[in-house]
């Protein structure tokens, strides 16, 4: 049973005072038979009152207001959590019965939400891959692992070329991105096979830095396996999720699981910095810090210098220049 102490710091800065900031945080780890939260402390600039409630998917959400004018807001969460290993599916049910079971539950709550397919231009191309495979001739567990491996092998892990605003069409064209992009593409493929699949946000915490996403917020997928339940799979690392992953929230996509989001009155210019550190029982620490432009900041940068463009546009320009050489 590994024990982790995770510090998640979020900092907003504004060039001019803003006010009436209304926010919600999804920084409360899920609690079940495989994950215990021993303690949690959350500090917010101004120490506003936090109201905590559960959403439709069972996630704990904190909601608070910061009415006074401010040029900076910090949200610091420190958790102590213990995880336990999960048994794997046994695959002892006939393959045909497994796929028949998925057909039986496709209109049953709560599976309906996790089968809804986001419409995008490249969807027919993605469907050809799902249709061309022999996924339904094997067990659901095996098919899930094969699709997980497909995303891992066919998409490159490159930081900085996508944001939370990057569309599925852009990800499919790039064939690259980070954990949230890998998770979104796997969600599409699983749902095309009528396998309920949900997005998971959290942290990955290996000691040896052998997994991508160490010391940062991470994202993966949970697929529903008939006669077993929800199984976590990590396409960024081509692995089955076990006791080295800490789950924060589940939902249909990133928007349902965003760790921090909100609105305020004031200037559209803002900077967001996020830092995560993971401490282990032996005293080792893994950490990563990143400055992320918000959509408002990206739009403002585009207006200031249209030649620079966003990260996706710059990447495509670079590819085109290499092709012309």
- Six token digits for residue 232: 């976590």
* Among the listed residues 151, 133, 168, the one whose alpha carbon sits nearest the alpha carbon of residue 239: 151
> 66 near 73, Cβ under 8 Å?
yes
Q: Which two tokens stand for residue 166?
A: 């990057």
- Among the listed residues 25, 12, 27, the one whose alpha carbon sits nearest the alpha carbon of residue 276: 27
3-state secondary structure the chain: CCEEEEEEEEEEEEEEEEEEEEEEECCCCCCECCEEEEEEEEEECCCCCCEEEECCCCCEEEEEEECCCEEEEEEEEEEEEEECCCCCCCCCCCHHHHHHHHHHHCCCCCCCHHHCCCCCCCHHHHHHHHHHCCHHHCCHHHHHHHHHHHHHHHCEECCCCCCCCCCHHHHHHHCEECHHHHHHHHHHHHHHCCCCEEEEEEEECCCCCCCCCECCEEEEEEEEECCCEEEEEECCCCEECCCCEEEEEEECCHHHHCCEEEEEECCCCCEEEEEEEEEECCCCEEEEEEEEECHHHHHHHHHHCCCCCCHHHHHHHHHHHHHHC
What are the angstrom distances between the C-alpha of 110 and each of 45, 114, 197?
A: 37, 7, 11
Check: CB of residue 57 under 8 Å from CB of residue 256.
Answer: yes
Specify which residues 23 forms β-bridges with. 64, 262
**pLDDT score of 303:** 31
The angle that helices 179-192 and 123-132 make with each other, rounded to 10 degrees, is: 60
What is the set of domains in the chain, with CATH numbers?
3-83+257-317 (2.60.40.2250), 95-252 (3.10.620.30)
* % residues pLDDT > 90 (the chain): 70
Q: pLDDT of 46-76, one tens digit each?
A: 999 999 999 999 999 999 999 999 999 999 9
Task: Supply the pLDDT for residue 292.
Answer: 38
CB count in 10 Å sphere of residue 275: 17
Amino acid 148: pLDDT: 96
Q: What is the 3-state secondary structure (H, E, C) of 185-222?
A: HHHHHHHHCCCCEEEEEEEECCCCCCCCCECCEEEEEE
Q: What is the pLDDT of residues 150-174, one digit of tens each?
A: 999 999 999 889 988 899 999 999 9
Computed on alpha carbons and rounded to an integer, the radius of gyration of the chain in Å comes to 21
Chain mean pLDDT for the chain: 86
Report pLDDT for 259: 93
- Residue segments in the chain with a per-residue pLDDT below the cut of 70: 209, 215-216, 281-325
Q: Please tell me the predicted confidence (pLDDT) of residue 150.
A: 94
Decide the pairing of beta strands 285-293 and 35-44: unpaired
Residue 312 is predicted with a pLDDT of 53
d(CA 3, CA 177): 30
Distant-in-sequence, close-in-space partners of 183: CB < 8 Å, separation ≥ 6: 199, 200, 219, 220, 221, 235, 236, 254
Supply the pLDDT for residue 165. 87
Cβ neighbours of residue 175 closer than 8 Å, sequence gap 6 or more? 154, 155, 156
Per-residue model confidence (pLDDT) at position 128? 86
Nearest CA among 189, 155, 190 for reference residue 174? 155
Residue 302 has a pLDDT of 29
Condensed to tens digits (0 to 9), the pLDDT of residues 122-158 reads 999 898 887 777 788 899 999 999 999 999 999 999 9
């Amino acid at each position: 049973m590994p024990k982790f102490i995770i510090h998640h710091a979020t900092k907003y800065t504004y060039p001019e005072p803003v006010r009436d900031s209304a926010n919600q945080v999804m920084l409360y780890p899920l609690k079940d038979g495989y994950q215990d939260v021993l303690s949690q402390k959350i500090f917010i600039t101004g120490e506003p009152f936090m109201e905590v409630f559960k959403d439709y998917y069972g996630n704990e959400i904190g909601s608070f207001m910061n009415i006074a004018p401010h040029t900076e807001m910090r949200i610091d969460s420190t958790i102590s959590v213990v995880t336990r290993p999960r048994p794997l599916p046994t695959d002892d049910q006939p393959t045909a019965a497994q796929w028949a079971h998925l057909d039986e539950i496709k209109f049953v709550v709560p599976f309906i939400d996790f089968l809804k397919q986001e419409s995008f231009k490249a969807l027919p191309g993605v469907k050809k891959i799902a249709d061309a495979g022999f996924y339904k001739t094997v067990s659901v567990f095996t098919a899930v692992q094969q699709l997980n491996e497909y995303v891992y092998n066919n998409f490159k892990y490159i930081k900085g070329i996508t944001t939370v605003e990057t569309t599925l069409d852009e990800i499919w064209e790039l064939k690259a991105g980070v954990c949230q992009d890998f998770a979104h593409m796997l969600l599409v493929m699983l749902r095309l096979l009528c396998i309920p699949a949900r997005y998971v946000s959290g942290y990955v915490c290996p000691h040896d830095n052998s997994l991508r996403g160490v010391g940062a917020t991470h994202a993966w997928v949970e697929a529903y396996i008939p006669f077993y339940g929800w199984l976590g799979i990590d396409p960024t690392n081509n692995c089955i999720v076990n006791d080295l992953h800490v789950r924060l929230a589940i939902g249909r996509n990133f928007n349902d699981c965003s760790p921090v989001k909100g609105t305020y009155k004031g200037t559209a210019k803002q900077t967001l910095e996020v830092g995560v550190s993971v401490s282990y029982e032996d005293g080792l620490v893994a950490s990563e810090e990143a400055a992320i432009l918000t959509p408002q900041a990206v739009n403002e940068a585009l207006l200031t210098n249209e030649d620079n463009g966003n990260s996706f546009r710059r990447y495509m320009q670079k590819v085109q220049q290499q092709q012309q050489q």
